[in-house]
Amino acid sequence: MTSIVVMGVAGCGKSTLGAELARVLGCPLIEGDEFHPSANVAKMRSGVPLDDADRHGWLAALGTEMRSYPDGAVLACSALKQAYRDQLREAAPGLLFVYLELSPEEATRRLEIRAEKHFFQANLVASQFETLEEPLAEPDVLALDATLPLAELTRRVIEWLETAAK
């Protein structure tokens, strides 16, 4: 199995879809948020957006973790810029990306609902969209509407994987 990155802005459902795909595919889930150094978490908790330098070490750690699963894994990771995705591709060649598209309004709404449970603050949504370079023209990317039900998102990814494997 090839490894998959479920990507998009905060609140799009990366972790939820990633966990379901890992379950269905019988492979490990790598939760990108768990690999942020404490300085990154402190910045986000205080409402300060991360910059490229903050993300570089985090992406390197994710790449190292992905290499530890040569039979494939699912990574839930924002991967907002092409340079970030390219860093992951370099670490784990053959990666496939599932991009969960979501409006700023819906991302804010979702983050406000989970505000007490997660370090990422809703006031950072604008910075996520400013950083986002949509991967629509990149190879091996499936873009999906993040507001679709989980079962539908999962079905579409599985169908895409079956087609991509041929």
CATH of the domain at 22: 3.40.50.300
**pLDDT of res. 110:** 80
Looking at the structure of the chain, the number of domains it has is 1
Do the Cβ atoms of 38 and 54 come closer than 8 Å? Answer: no
Do the Cβ atoms of 60 and 106 come closer than 8 Å? Answer: no
* DSSP characters over 58-76: HHHHHHHHHHT-TT--EEE
Range of the domain at 19: 4-164
- d(C-alpha 160, C-alpha 61), whole Å: 28
Strand order in the sheet with 4-7: 29-31, 74-76, 4-7, 96-101, 141-145
**pLDDT of res. 134:** 96
H or E element in which residue 141 lies: strand 141-145
CA 9 remoteness from chain centre: 8
**pLDDT of res. 123:** 64
- d(C-alpha 126, C-alpha 108), whole Å: 9
Mean pLDDT by 10 residues, the chain (166 residues): 91 94 97 88 77 90 94 96 96 95 89 62 76 94 97 98 79
